[in-house]
């Protein structure tokens, strides 16, 4: 499997990160968990 990449576009340029497919899935799960936490906080729970 080829590595997955993530590019962050910033005000002063961009940064790219490469991930193995497994690490990309773990990152996806962590981001989903973070989003759920932020939604919960913004709802006042």
The total number of structural domains in the chain stands at: 1
Per residue of the chain (45 residues), what is the pLDDT tens digit? Answer: 577 888 999 999 999 989 898 998 898 999 999 999 999 999 986
Whose tokens are 């940064």? That residue is 15
* Whole-number pLDDT of residue 45: 60
Q: 3-class secondary structure for 5-28? A: EEEEEECCEEEEEEECHHHHHHHH
Cα–Cα distance between 6 and 14 in angstroms, integer? 10
CA–chain centroid gap for 20, Å, is 14
Cα–Cα distance between 2 and 20 in angstroms, integer? 7
Expressed as residue numbers, the domain containing 17 is 4-42
CA–chain centroid gap for 38, Å, is 14
Whole-model pTM?
Answer: 0.65
């Amino acid at each position: 499997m080829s590595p997955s990449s993530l590019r962050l576009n910033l005000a002063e340029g961009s940064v790219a990160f490469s991930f193995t497919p497994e690490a990309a899935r773990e990152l996806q799960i962590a981001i989903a968990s973070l989003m759920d936490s932020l939604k919960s906080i913004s709802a006042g729970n």
